Structure 1
């Protein structure tokens, strides 16, 4: 089962609240969520950039007469 980016972002938000209210000892939990969110965003951005680029047209030689 795969966790969506939206679910990871919600987990990161909750982990940040845990750190705020329960202490710095829970920071590694937040850090893990944060790194995974950044990794997924980066991957998605890279894929979109690759798809969004215009593919240059290949110049073809004219067929022989």
Structure 2
């Protein structure tokens, strides 16, 4: 379940400009700090770093 939530969050980070706190809530995390911790543990990047990396890669 955690992987599904975090993969969905990663997809939303890539495809939307929604604030990270709303993405965290939409995938089932009430606490953004916990979401950030879990996301970084799973993807080795914070949500904001992940979004920035994706947008840079998309521009290339």
TM-score, normalised on structure 2? 0.35
The structure with the larger Rg is 1
TM-score, normalisation: structure 1: 0.34
**Per residue, is there more helix in 1 or in 2?**
2
